[in-house]
Structure 1
């Protein structure tokens, strides 16, 4: 019997879950095969293998380092699994929050993150539009502290699954509100504002799992009774996977040339 590869199983599960959900609870009406869907599909398959490879490298790194603070890592690994999962989510999203802010504030890092913000339609498939460099950067920022602190393999596995599920959920094109839950767990109502076309608004809601982190650091934005109407960025990025891959490097090179030219003058 032919076994279906995990990468195919994953996309089939996502299709079966989110396409009916987005039809039933649609936020913005759009075509199923909307602009950029093929590009995002390329990101899904490349991102799967890049993510898997990055995880394996980080595991080797963790085994070699064996925890940066042995006493602390030993203490953490002995805690109940439920507590480890909760704390790993807190530390992981706190790490992601600061990495995410760097992607928005450091000019050369923004050139990579701009790819994710180039989507003019936000839905579950837009989740995967992430440049490989950014994918590796953010995953390392999230996972290295957790490996160093000695969280168990089971806790890390649950955290990885939770991270993937919440990432697709917060990008989903669904109109649904959670009066209490929205303060505890990131929702589409919270994250969609981060993709607003207005840079002043998109520079908010950096956390992807715990909105309370944005509230603490003053970057929380979710006006009552309003929804974003225009997504994407003003950057002219061609809607092509390979153009996306080289865009940051071309942009950084051009900025570097301009800087050198200005200095010489």
Structure 2
């Protein structure tokens, strides 16, 4: 029996395994795996801590609550639309005109004023603009069914890495059967209509067709959690407690999958990227 929220009815983990698909898209996203002083970075794709945090918020978990039910879930990320990096220049000041306090505190626990007085603090934050990712979360079917319901009617607002980055709807694409790789391989391309049309136009220009070319499938990069993977990411949460935030490492592998484009019509002679005379185009992912 697994309880997502203290005092709530337990979710019996039975009924086999499934995969919950989440479409992570919005004007801005920020998946920070590290922050240093006045600089907040974003990774190129969602972190496991960010996805688990989204599921925890949807389920009504407080930051102090244990994450035992969510930690064993496996994650796969497909980059459907990488977006563009945005650098946001911030300044912070006290509206009362007072000097800003420093990080240190006095013996009474009161923050000391800056010396010499500092009236403006500069911070730099990074975001991804107009990115679209498909997250595949694998685990017990009954647990994922409960999470699917929670994401569709979340207890707390959902965010794409930071609270200032709300997702577009719908977030949940529902449950699927099969492995993470199989599900990510067969789910249609989730990029925006504009991005897909730009891709088709670019493919037509590459072949000097004088028109857009609509392939049936397109290559997209994926990152899949794998105990035998050859890369290590330090983004697996252990606790979100404000006074004891803890993370650990996980192993992943990176790959490319040929996925359905979902175009209303396709040019079948170029539908298979492996048979395309142009070969694999690494810049296609960037929309070039």
Q: Shorter chain as normaliser: what TM range?
A: under 0.3
Give the alignment's TM-score, normalised by structure 2.
0.22
| Greater share of strand | 2
